[in-house]
Amino acid sequence: MEVVRPRYSDPFGGVMVDSQVLEVSDEQKSLIRMILDVCCSDSQFADKAYKAITRVLTSGSVVVPEITSLNPGSATIGDPSFTLHVMGSGFLPGSIIVFAGVEEPTTHVSDSEITTGVNMDVWMGPDSLPVMVKSPDGVLSEASTFVFSAASSGVLASPSIKASAPTPAIKSVTGSTPPVVKK
């Protein structure tokens, strides 16, 4: 059974990649809020729109993480568990590795390297999975691909996640490629 989560991009989660921080006075914020309260269909919608508008105006640019390589970039089913090193740029303290759509415990080594553990006991068959980095601002890098190769013999080729392992929780990650989890 395959579970595919449709791609969802929060229209209120906008961030600026190349913009300066703007000073917005309390009076301007009050007027923005008043306009939204009058124009929006309900107070929750008005509140979300207000937060999105003030974030875009006052946040300025964000750092977009970029992955240049994965070390290792692949593993063979049956290999021991290992540490995945993600190399690139724009990795800030609080950046998170998103492995197959799941936010993983991440260690910040430097602005160009972060790491996480990969539990090989979970993987049973060959698969190609997206690896991304999520900045503390919620901005995702482009995906790199990690490949699980089939063992030479004695290992089932399908399914890719062992039935005895807990199914990873799929979290909504704005702007991400939808993960596919095979059971």
Q: pLDDT of 12-25, one tens digit each?
A: 555 566 667 778 89
Cα end-to-end distance, the chain, whole Å: 5
Instruction: Tell me what pLDDT residue 13 has.
Output: 57
In a domain, 85, yes or no: yes
In a domain, 17, yes or no: no
Q: What domain count does the chain have? A: 2
Residue 44's CB: how many other CB atoms inside 10 A?
9
Among the three residues 59, 81, 113, which one is the final residue of a domain in this structure? 59
Higher pLDDT, 42 or 176: 42
71 and 144 belong to one structural domain:
yes
What does the alpha-carbon distance between residue 45 and residue 35 come to, in Å, rounded to a whole number? 12
In a domain, 120, yes or no: yes
In a domain, 44, yes or no: yes
In a domain, 18, yes or no: no
158 and 108 belong to one structural domain:
yes
Q: What does the pLDDT look like over 43-101, one tens digit per residue? A: 888 888 888 888 778 776 677 899 999 999 999 998 999 999 999 999 999 999 999 99
Q: How far is CA 169 from CA 102, 104, 158, 182, in A?
A: 7, 11, 20, 12
